[in-house]
Amino acid sequence: MPTDHDVIIAGGGPAGIAAAIGAARCGANTLLIERYGFLGGMATAGVVHPWMTFHAGDKQLVAGVLQDIIDRLKERGAYKVSSHFGNVHHCFDPEDLKQVELELVLEAGVHLMLHTLIVDTIREGDRVSGVVSESKSGREEHRGAIIVDATGDGDVAARGGAEYEKGRAEDGLMQPMTLHFRMGGVDVPRMPSREEINELYVAAKERGEIDNPRENLLWFDTTYEDQIHFNTTRVTHVDGTDRDDLTKAEIESRRQTWEVVRLLQQHVPGFEKAYLLWTAPQIGVRETRRILGDYVLTEDDVLGARKFPDAITLGSYDIDIHNPAGTGTIIKPLACGEYYAIPYRCLLPRGLDGLLVAGRPISTTHEAHSSVRIQAICSGMGHAAGIAAALAAKGNTMPRALDVKDIQSEVVAQGGILDAE
């Protein structure tokens, strides 16, 4: 039987969680559908760690639901502010995060469906009116006044016929995938410098012991004294919306992981007794579809720190493009202390009503996407999308017809930040 809700959120990652809580706090009857048995998306299923900066200098740019999550993590001793490469990063424990996010979603009154995969979109004319799911309970239709696509890949929008782009303009290649993993039992005080470890890595590549296109090892500290987190595997020429490519990427990234583990144990001081603590349940996907919306955010908008009158969240993360074809990473930072805004129009897919897109598939260029894709910014745009969806449902109107000032007012009322001056 169809299930009717004011707002349906597809995907329980950073954007989807914030959207569901934001909508429910507006009084909307809200359904959140997630394919795993836990929430968190790339933070827990991909264990993408740590959170990149959501500050411009000492000015915080994203709060709202994200701040609620951070406060709960702090209460559990599961959060730490750290610094790498001169930048502030935010370490969290993935298991605590699963529980914190679950508690916040349930406390908000969200109806939650786990172990449920969205397989199709219900469209009536130009309006998206629901989704179709598959689970142990079989195939079901879920109809809602407003749908929020927070799948990370724009699955609902794409299956509903939305226009989208993939990859960079010259060849369509997308940023590489990375399987995150963590080493336990590390004698951290004995670890060499980052430069010395990378010299050992490069030497191992030259000896043929490492077959990985990444130019160096990328690692971060954690909330535990004897654990080091690695974001260093790299699988190129793959598409995260293709089953066979995902299979190939999982196989290749796990091969790369064990190469690095052996290198660390055999050649890097401090890792002699270390062990592979875990690998992420799934490979981390940086980029797939970008749903074309009423506005396309560009690299110039990001690096120019452009502010928009219909801003719904803020960001300051670098243009950060891992080479889709192999070695190298392009980093272009904003000017010190600067930040940009994401306009509401980027969440509105062209030619479709009843649907908002939140998270990394919003309407951007390949270059701008490399900045907006980080989890804190996704949380901020998800929060705004959930609020907009609730306001549209309560007003019996479409998201495009809303007065953005009403959305902005509710974002701020729920603790969001739209002006960091």
pTM beyond cutoff 0.95: yes
d(CA 43, CA 419) in angstroms, rounded, equals 27
d(CA 393, CA 277) in angstroms, rounded, equals 45
227 CB-near residues (< 8 Å, 6+ apart):
182, 183, 184, 186, 221, 277
CB 226 within 8 A of CB 270: no
| pLDDT value for 103 | 98
Report how far apart, in Å, the C-alpha atoms of 243 and of each of 246, 272, 331 are.
5, 37, 30
The CA-based dihedral angle spanning residues 385, 391, 397, 401, taken in that order and rounded to the nearest 10 degrees:
-60
Percent of the chain with pLDDT over 90: 97
| pLDDT value for 421 | 78
Q: Please, which residues bridge with residue 286 across strands? A: none
Confidence of residue 2 (pLDDT cuts 50, 70, 90): very low
pLDDT in tens, 36-77: 999 999 999 999 999 999 999 999 999 999 999 999 999 999
Q: What is the DSSP string of 313-381?
A: EEE-PPEEEE-TTSS-EEEEPPPTT--EEEEGGGGSBTT-BSEEE-STTSSB-HHHHHHHTSHHHHHHH
Lowest mean pLDDT, pick from 83-92, 135-144, 297-306, 360-369: 83-92
Which amino acid is located at 144 in the chain? G
Beta strands in 93-160 (DSSP E): 111-113, 117-124, 127-135, 138-149
Confidence of residue 420 (pLDDT cuts 50, 70, 90): confident
